Copies of this chain bind each other. A is one copy, B any other.
Amino acid sequence: MGEFDLIARYFKRPARRAALGVGDDCALLQPSPGYQLAVSTDMLVAGRHFLPDVDPRTLGHKALAVNLSDLAACGARPLAFTLALALPQADAAWLEPFSKGLFALADAHDCELVGGDTTQGPLNICITVMGEVPVQQGRSLALLRSGAQAGDDIYVSGTLGDARLALDVLRGAVTLPGAQLAAARQRMDTPEPRVALGMALRGVATAAIDISDGLLGDLGHVLESSRVGARLDTHIALGLLRHGRDAADKVLPEATRLACVLAGGDDYELAFTAPTTARDAVQAAAAASHTPVTRIGQVLAAPGLQLVDAHGAPVVNSLRSFDHFA
C-alpha cells in the first residue's frame, strides 16, 4: 500500500462543510460571518502520550479528543481538522481501526478532516483543529485563560484523576478491582471533550482551560494569565475521583488519591471561573450540555494557590504539574 492509496483508502471522504478537502495543496475553509477562527495543535508520541500497545481505535479517538478539548476550553464550535501521521509502516490492521475511532468522534462533533500529511517514521500523530467563536459588537466571545477575577468561583467539569489512576495501576504502582480499572482505563483511553459545555459557558465563564497536565498546573496557567491567586478545597476535589470513592477508598491512601486528582493529568475536563452572581447560569450551562460541574474553590486577589482541607486548614502541596522536559 503506497502513500496515496493509504490516504484514499482510510482518510479521504467527500468534502462537506469545507469548500475543498483532502487532496489539494490546501484545504479551503470559510468561517461563518461574524465568527473568528480558533486554532489549536496537539502532537501525540508513542510511549509518551499513549502506551505502545494501545488499541488503535481508542488512539484515533484520543488523538482528536485532546485537540477538541482545546476548542472546548475556548468555547469554540469544531469545524475542521488536519491530520499529520508518521507511521513505521503502512499497516491496514492498524490504520483501519485508527481511522474508525478518529472519524467516529469527528462525526459526533461535526468536525471535518480537511487535509494532512502521511510519512514514514516513528509513530507520531499531529492534529490541528479549527473551530469558530462568535464576535459580538467587535468583542470575541472566546473563553480565555486571562479573564479570571478575584471573587470568582472556580469550577471543574466531570471527574478528575481517573485516567492517572488507571495509568498507575498499569504501571504496577497501585491496585484496583478489575471493574474499576476497566472504567478508569476508559477515562484514560477515550476522554470525552467538553465541547458542549465550553460553548454553553460563552458569556458566563470569565476564564477557562482544559485539564491535560493536571488541575494544579493548568489552573496555575489561568491564575498566572489573569494575575490572581486561588483557594482550592481539597476535600471537594477528592470527591472528583470517581473510581476511588468506594472500594478503592479503603485501598488507596488519601495522598495517592489527592495526587491523582490535583496533578494526574490526561483528564480533558474544563476548569473555569465565573462570578458568584453567575451560579445559576453556570448550572444552566451544565444542565444544557448534560455535563456535571463542581465548585471547588475561589479566585483570590493575592497571587498563589492555597490548598485547604474541610476545616479550612492548609494542605501541604508538593505536587508538580506534568512537564515534558522536566
Residues of A within 8 A of B (CB): 1-4, 6, 19-20, 23-31, 36-43, 45-49, 70-71, 73-74, 76, 80, 82-87, 89-90, 114-122, 124, 126, 128, 130-131, 133, 135, 140, 142, 144-146, 208-210, 225, 323-326
Contacts and interface: CB of A to CB of B under 8 A. Distances in A.
Given A20-B144, A25-B74, A142-B28, A324 B38 contact: no
Contact of A6 (B38, B43, B90, B325): B325
Given A28-B133, A40-B27, A119 B48 contact: yes
A2 B24 CA distance: 38
B76 A126 contact: no
Given A30-B36, A120-B325, A124-B43, A74 B145 contact: no
B40 A140 contact: no
A85 to B, nearest CB: 8
A25 B122 CA distance: 27
A134 to B, nearest CB: 12
Nearest to A212: B25
Contacts of A116: 41
Contacts of A119: 43, 45, 48-49, 324
Given A42-B117, A119-B324, 5 more contacts: A26-B70, A26-B131, A84-B128, A89-B325, A120-B324
Given A74-B24, A142-B20, A323 B3 contact: yes
A41 B324 contact: no
A74 B326 CA distance: 41
A122 B326 CA distance: 17
Given A45-B121, A124-B124, A39 B19 contact: no
B41 A126 contact: yes
Contacts of A24: 74, 144-146, 225
B140 A28 contact: yes
B29 A117 contact: no
Given A4-B323, A43-B119, A323-B4, A29 B37 contact: yes
A129 to B, nearest CB: 8
A113 B208 CA distance: 22
Given A122-B45, A124-B124, A114 B39 contact: yes
A117 B43 contact: yes
A77 B90 CA distance: 34
9 contacts: A25-B70, A26-B73, A26-B76, A28-B37, A29-B37, A41-B117, A41-B128, A45-B120, A122-B122
A210 B124 CA distance: 25
Given A20-B142, A26-B38, A121 B120 contact: no
Contacts of A115: 39-41
A3 B118 CA distance: 26
